[in-house]
Amino acid sequence: MRFDTPATTNPIDQLKVIGHAVDRVDGHLKTTGAAPYAYEQNEAAPNAAYGYVVGSSIAKGRIRAMNAGAARRAPGVLAVVTAENAGKLGLGIFNTAILLGGPEIQHYHQAIAVVIAETFEQARAAAQLLNVDYIPETGSFDLAQTKSSGAHSAGGKSDQRTGDFEGAFAAAPVRLDATYTTPDHAHAMMEPHASIATWQGDRLTVWTSNQMVDWGRGDLARTLGIPKEKVRLVSPYIGGGFGGKLFLRAEAVLAALGAKAVNRPVKVALTRPFMFNNTPHRPATIQRIRIGASRDGRITAIAHESWSGNLPGGKPENAVQQTQLLYAGANRLTGNRLSVLDLPEGNAMRAPGEAPGLMALEIAMDEMAEKLRIDPVMFRIKNETKVDPSNPDRPFSQRRLIECLRTGAERFGWHARNPQPASMRDGRWLVGMGVAAALRNNLTMQSGARLRLSPAGVVTVETDMTDLGTGSYTIIAQTAAEMMGLPLDKVVVKLGDSDFPVSAGSGGQWGANSSTAGVYAAAVKLRETVAQRLGMDASVAEFSDGMVRASGKSIPLAQAATAGELVVEDSIQFGDLTKRYQQSTFGAHFVEVGVDLYTGETRIRRMLAVCAAGRILNPKSARSQVIGAMTMGVGAALMEDLVVDKRRGFFVNHDLAGYEVPVHADIPHQEVIFLDETDPMSSPMKAKGVGELGLCGVGAAIANAVYHATGVRLRDYPLTLDKLLPQLPDVT
């Protein structure tokens, strides 16, 4: 099915199942431990051996020699696989660094070997016996140093300009020129990167924790140099990913190589310390923002430039993309700068680009509002635009940012906020309120599904879409139930298998909308097939309560399959509506904080998110997505910081003891409001996505609240107490 004209009324609009706060259909399996994750596929791959990954202890250089003799002789050891005996390996199109290094070393903890043994403990003990002689080389590990030395490029794209920024900025009566920094961030998902691999002749099956099954399958085939059709990837349940599992990682390759070497299944999981330096992270940024405005608060010039680093061949963190679209202003400049750093690979993490970009932009907007003596909410509203500022002929499909801001301000009690910083007090706590706007683009991707109608009237959905705790099983079941007129208990959903039709996968906030649209397309075909079997006109047939009704006839849906199971397959293919209309999701975040006047400790007191994100397919799971994202925003604002050892080029705090993330005690009341919205330009579902929108802007809302509470403006994340203490008001 091709989607190239705006959606009109369709069966989804009945909202009998879609749009309801349905419990997760896979919830019972997960709460009882019956949902097998990648490392637990013991029945599918019995008698598995264990692999333990060895990582490089230098960040850049070469391996002069590797002596694996003692490791191979250790108790229980079956094999030691290195680049020397693994055979020729390729590089996947989504990978920056080689997944099995040697002799060249590209980053610290790049995998250089995997030890296979009968038990995990034996493999781990033998791995310590591997003797590696390195030739270290001088690396580049300091983003600020490379920026100051001018050792950076344009990041693959030239600056985007509209009008004359420099002239307009110089002429503006009110100006801001400020620099903001965000540190490196780790995904820190609960389930580690884990895989079990087994070979049947020349065919490879890998049970893995991967968000994008088809991408992973293709890159695994490329890496191993075998045909894609010889590879099967299975990923039915994922314990969190946040972008860290979008692409093929070392443990899947090493499990496959290990299984080949020992001729039996091999399971490999990355240990928590290994994950921080071996797998991708969100790169640190240095961002310069300049805003010029007239005295009445109209932005006349805006520039956003960002510096980030990556390995050779990597891409920059696109922290400027939201600034191209969020506010009006005739004269504009945005650009990314990329420094070559010999740190582990930088890549996608939840809301890549917008998350760190809005952490800077939305502080800058508050700073300008203060210069102009305009309320921060009103300053944002005053600079609203209904079209792409760089292309006024391209309108937004939907844009309800002002409504998000006004609704949030009213619900949060913004009117009670004293605009004077450090003026609100609750005992020893300085109290502040902050706001930030949110934007995340609506991305779509071709997505397919296969539907089966059994003689018992049960519809089974098969698609390689994944569920990393986001609720994919449930919204896909809701879509099939709505389309086929069935209750949810008559729908079975099977996900995460490359034997199924290729879907959008989970990432970029495109998963829910695209994958359900693919199920919609397949359901339209199944409805047509059913109507034909029953002698009905599909264009007027109604599917409800397990029955099909048309022209005065009412026949059970199951009757269409009495001669045998009906099987159909289709995909949604998106046309050029995204080119004709700018499709984005919008939100507003409001946060109240308390800052201890004596210690500088910051505590979140309450949070509110207002979201305009198309049709909300399941308000319960959507709310879970948003509050989880808001919690990640608290971490980014107040505590998360991958600390770089700038001498040796690795992340020092590479575990959950040293890399701090929010816990339950850090998160108070969170409220989420979804505006009632449909976007017919987006898909037949008229939905978009919320999983990343909920993170966008949260950090800045917290930073703005901290400033309002204390009068101390911090531009260097995280906002830790050591940065606040020297500048706090005198205790009285």
Residue range 402-444, pLDDT digits in tens? 999 999 999 999 999 999 999 999 999 999 999 999 999 999 9
Handedness of CA 413, 414, 418, 421 (dihedral sign): positive
- The pLDDT score that the predictor gives to residue 119 is 98
Cβ distance 411 to 669 under 8 Å? no
- The pLDDT score that the predictor gives to residue 150 is 79
Mean pLDDT taken over the chain: 97
Q: What is the mean pLDDT of residues 585-595?
A: 98
pLDDT tens-digit readout, 361-382: 999 999 999 999 999 999 999 9
Cβ distance 108 to 648 under 8 Å? yes
**Cα separation, 681 vs 466, whole angstroms:** 25
- The pLDDT score that the predictor gives to residue 243 is 97
Domain 38-138+194-278 belongs to what topology?
A: Aldehyde Oxidoreductase; domain 4 (3.30.365)
Residue 330, classified by CB atoms within 10 Å of its CB into exposed (0-12), middle (13-18) or buried (19+), is middle
Least Cα distance to 366 among 388, 383, 389, 352 occurs for 383
pLDDT tens-digit readout, 345-357: 999 999 999 999 9
- The pLDDT score that the predictor gives to residue 149 is 87
Confidence of residue 154 (pLDDT cuts 50, 70, 90): confident
- Per residue, the 3-state secondary structure of 587-656, as one string, reads EEEEEEEEEECCCCCEEEEEEEEEEECEECCCHHHHHHHHHHHHHHHHHHHHCCCECEECCCCEECCCCC
- The pLDDT score that the predictor gives to residue 677 is 98
pLDDT tens-digit readout, 170-212: 999 999 999 999 999 999 999 999 999 999 999 999 999 999 9
Handedness of CA 222, 224, 228, 233 (dihedral sign): negative
- The pLDDT score that the predictor gives to residue 731 is 78
- The two three-digit tokens of residue 716, written as one number: 């260097």
pLDDT tens-digit readout, 614-663: 999 999 999 999 999 999 999 999 999 999 999 999 999 999 999 999 99
**Cα separation, 320 vs 306, whole angstroms:** 7
The DSSP element (H or E) to which 290 belongs, if any, is strand 285-293
pLDDT tens-digit readout, 709-719: 999 999 999 99
- The pLDDT score that the predictor gives to residue 411 is 98
Confidence of residue 523 (pLDDT cuts 50, 70, 90): very high
CATH architecture of 375-442+583-727: 2-Layer Sandwich (3.30)
Pairing of β 650-651 and β 669-674 = unpaired
pLDDT tens-digit readout, 384-408: 999 999 999 999 999 999 999 999 9
Domains of the chain, by residue range, sit at 2-35+444-577, 38-138+194-278, 375-442+583-727
**Cα separation, 40 vs 46, whole angstroms:** 10
- The pLDDT score that the predictor gives to residue 321 is 96
Cβ distance 714 to 720 under 8 Å? no
User: pTM of this prediction?
Assistant: 0.97
Cβ distance 3 to 580 under 8 Å? no
- The pLDDT score that the predictor gives to residue 156 is 66
Q: Catalytic pick from 191, 251, 305, 692?
A: 692
- For 2-35+444-577, CATH number out of 3.10.580.10, 3.40.47.10, 3.30.365.10, 3.20.20.140 equals 3.30.365.10
Confidence of residue 611 (pLDDT cuts 50, 70, 90): very high
569: annotated active-site residue: no
Q: What is the mean pLDDT of residues 29-47?
A: 95
